[in-house]
Structures are given as structure tokens and as C-alpha cells.
Amino acid sequence: MAHVRIDDGTLVVEMTGLDKLWTLKSRLTIPLGNVRGVTYDPGMIAERKGIRAPGVHLPGVIVAGTFHLDGEQVFWDVRNPAKAIVIQLADERYTRLVVQVDDPRAAVTLIEGAITMS
């Protein structure tokens, strides 16, 4: 699971527990100017993942790490798709972050509010 917060004009996504191991990341920091949008999207888990490099994909269990699909890189950290949000990015290594959070609606509201203010 991931925790999201806004810190001085930056979106901070921190992985917790074993997710740090599965994703090979402990934190991602994205300038708010590069965040194009965010949605609550439990159905995202059904999309093609592409080639993982590095990462883990055990269908129905976990999708975590960096996946390459159609020339784009997507970061995943999802075990429970019902709690997945999708963060659209521009001018970043990843085109999207698909992460599981405790409260998807609150996370979307937080990020949308920060985008509007920046």
C-alpha cells in the first residue's frame, strides 16, 4: 500500500511495508505541475500490464513495480483493486502511477485540490 501527501508543491507517494521490496521503491516525488489528474479506478487492475522490469505480478494477489507497455512506463503498487487510484503524469519517468491507498476518495480529493491550487 502507498501513502500519498502533498509537501511544498510536491506529490509524495510512499510505499509501506513489504511493498518497498516488491516495487523496489520506498518513495516517489512528483512536482505538482507534472500531475495531470487523478481518478479512483478499481477496474484498472484488468488492464494489460505489459512487461515488468523490475516488479512482480501474481494475478489476483499483487501487481507491483515498473511495467513497460506501448512505449510507456507505469508504476504499480496494488493488492486490493477496490482501493486503487490512478495518477496521470506528464514529463516524468512514469506516465501513470497506479497505487493502492487506505482511502481512495480522500486521496483523490487531496491530489485534485493540490493540483487546483498549484
- DSSP states along the chain: -EEEEE-SSEEEEEE-TTHHHHHT-SEEEEEGGGEEEEEE-GGGGGS---EEEEEEEETTTEEEEEEEETTEEEEEEES-GGGEEEEEESSSS-SEEEEE-S-HHHHHHHHHHHHHH-
Answer yes or no: is pLDDT of 57 > 90: no
- Per-residue pLDDT tens over the stretch 7-22: 999 999 999 999 999 8
- Residue-level pLDDT at 46: 83
* pLDDT confidence band for 54 (50 / 70 / 90): confident
Of the CATH numbers 1.10.10, 3.30.310, 1.20.1110, 2.30.29, which one belongs to the domain with range 2-117?
A: 2.30.29
pTM as predicted: 0.94
Mean pLDDT computed over every residue of the chain: 93
